[in-house]
Amino acid sequence: MRLNTGQTVFSQIMDFLPKHDFRQFVNHYRGHYKVKTFSCMDQYLCMAFAQLTYRESLRDIEACLRSVQSKLYHMGFRSAISRNTLANANEQRDWRIYADLAHLLIRQARELYAGEPTFSDLNQTVYAFDSSTIDLCLSLFPWARFRQHKAAVKLHTLIDLRGNIPVFIRITEGKVHDVNALDDLVFEPGSIYVMDRGYLDFARLYRIHQHQAIFVIRAKSNMQYRRLYSSPVDKATGLRSDQTIKLKGYYPSRDYPDTLRRIRYFDAEKEKHLTFLTNQLTFPALTIADLYRRRWQVELFFKWIKQHLRIKAFLGTSENAVKTQIWIAISVYVLVAILKKRLNLEPSLYAILQVLSVTLFEKRPIFQLFTEPETKIPGLNDSDCFPLFEDL
């Protein structure tokens, strides 16, 4: 392995970028049209630096990078850093350049993590699907009207729980209902889709069933059904019931005419009763409950994207600028996931991001940051750094 003794940590991270493909995306969308200095790569490096180091404003980015002027060339920058130039680039250069880059990195990451062990010895791919609303100021973002006095965009995301890689992302206006995003998914036969009760729409769930995929979803308390039979459960595990049911009522029974499985579970830690619905009739009931528990990984992804890649502090007010920042944030997240796999780093992805944020200017091989005793992070785990969202 090359030791990269002369490279900063930041430039080592950027070495994992597919630069040839990036240049093709820039040419395809004419990213350098009428651009004399400050290339799309310079723009990307500035934004990636801002997100890895928690910069919160254009002035903040400019001040930090100018303070290390002598190191910028070796970090990949080829132009002077100016907040006005960066702001103009975010406003004017096509966000699809960075969306295509993120999608390419996602494909590479999925290939790298394809051999990861599956959950609970299941052979199926397990996905978690959810959305998160990012609040905006209506006076600054009038194109993203959400309510009468509020603006927002919504991030709909499907996470592959092998590696916690986002494989499907849609950015919509905040007023788009969560369940509508299901219409954009292409369901893989045999794969498992875990969702919260905001996606409970029986016609759409039946479409998942018809594609021979599996869903696990929270049930609503007012759901009407007819019990066909019950299976015995071990209540010491938290299970309360395992029933095979059919829906009652004209519309629910019409939209989902097949049988369903209803599992009740008591979460002793939160002292909360949970009810799950699934079309999988043979898995152990506890496996279904454990599958739903894994849904928190998508919320952890949103936590990182919103709070630790500086999505809440947008560096531009146009729709193009907002989408540019979101897609660059996602690409940075996936780039570090690729780095983690290729360097065989043991800490979690979130712990790696924490360490990188304070070592970007060091000239040490990245793998040494996580192998030398003085740089280890005793007791650090995901739940310590990133408290999970409450149920939506």
CATH code of the domain covering residue 237: 3.30.1370
pLDDT at 375: 47
pLDDT at 35: 87
How would residue 5 be classed by pLDDT, with cut points 50, 70 and 90?
A: low
Task: Say if residue 70 is exposed, middle or buried (CB neighbours under 10 Å; 0-12, 13-18, 19+).
Answer: exposed
**Beta carbons within 10 angstroms of residue 342's beta carbon:** 11
pLDDT at 310: 55
The per-residue pLDDT for range 123-137, each reduced to its tens digit, is 788 999 988 888 777
333 and 277 in a single domain? The answer is no
How far are the Cα atoms of 113, 167, 372 from residue 161, in angstroms, in the given order? Answer: 10, 10, 29
pLDDT at 306: 66
325 and 355 in a single domain? The answer is yes
| Minimum mean pLDDT range among 28-37, 80-89, 290-299 | 290-299
28 and 60 in a single domain? The answer is yes
Q: Assess if residue 189 is contained within a domain.
A: no
16 and 82 in a single domain? The answer is yes
User: Quick one: what percent of the chain has pLDDT higher than 90?
Assistant: 51
- Residue 385 confidence (pLDDT) above 70: no
317 and 259 in a single domain? The answer is no
- Residue 373 confidence (pLDDT) above 80: no
- Residue 300 confidence (pLDDT) above 90: no
Total domain count, the chain: 2
Average pLDDT over the chain reads 86
Phi and psi angles of residue 249, each rounded to the nearest 5 degrees, phi first: 95, 150
Amino acid at 388: L
Specify the DSSP element, H or E, that contains 324: helix 319-342
Q: Assess if residue 278 is contained within a domain.
A: yes
pLDDT at 1: 43
The per-residue pLDDT for range 144-159, each reduced to its tens digit, is 777 777 788 888 999 8
Higher pLDDT, 374 or 39: 39
Please state the rounded mean pLDDT for residues 80-95. Answer: 91
User: Quick one: what percent of the chain has pLDDT higher than 70?
Assistant: 88
pLDDT at 392: 33
pLDDT at 379: 43
Do the beta carbons of residue 345 and residue 370 sit within 8 Å?
yes
Domain membership of residue 214 as a residue range: 197-294
pLDDT at 388: 30
- Interatomic CA distance for residues 280 and 192, integer angstroms: 9
Q: Assess if residue 175 is contained within a domain.
A: no
202 and 262 in a single domain? The answer is yes
- Residue 72 confidence (pLDDT) above 90: no
Please state the rounded mean pLDDT for residues 287-301. Answer: 82
pLDDT at 261: 97
Q: List all residues 6 or more positions away from 210 whose beta carbon is below 8 Å from its beta carbon.
A: none
289 and 337 in a single domain? The answer is no
Show the tokens assigned to 125. 């791919």
Q: Assess if residue 64 is contained within a domain.
A: yes
How would residue 120 be classed by pLDDT, with cut points 50, 70 and 90?
A: low
317 and 290 in a single domain? The answer is no
Do the beta carbons of residue 141 and residue 323 sit within 8 Å?
no
Please state the rounded mean pLDDT for residues 369-383. Answer: 56
pLDDT at 372: 64
- Residue 189 confidence (pLDDT) above 70: yes
Please state the rounded mean pLDDT for residues 365-371. Answer: 89
pLDDT at 307: 61
Q: Assess if residue 127 is contained within a domain.
A: no
pLDDT at 380: 45
The per-residue pLDDT for range 319-364, each reduced to its tens digit, is 898 889 889 989 998 999 999 999 999 998 878 988 998 999 998 9
How would residue 43 be classed by pLDDT, with cut points 50, 70 and 90?
A: very high
290 and 317 in a single domain? The answer is no
How far are the Cα atoms of 118, 130, 193, 345 from residue 209, in angstroms, in the given order? Answer: 22, 19, 11, 38
Q: Assess if residue 138 is contained within a domain.
A: no
Segments of the chain assigned E as strands = 126-136, 145-147, 150-160, 165-173, 192-195, 214-218, 225-231, 239-247, 260-267, 272-278
22 and 87 in a single domain? The answer is yes
Q: Assess if residue 304 is contained within a domain.
A: no
Q: Assess if residue 53 is contained within a domain.
A: yes
pTM for this entry: 0.83
Q: List all residues 6 or more positions away from 347 whose beta carbon is below 8 Å from its beta carbon.
A: 355, 370, 377, 380
Nearest to 302 by CA among 168, 162, 145, 133: 133
- Residue 121 confidence (pLDDT) above 70: no
- Interatomic CA distance for residues 85 and 112, integer angstroms: 36
* Count of alpha carbons within 13 angstroms of residue 312, beta-carbon side: 10
pLDDT at 137: 72
pLDDT at 109: 93
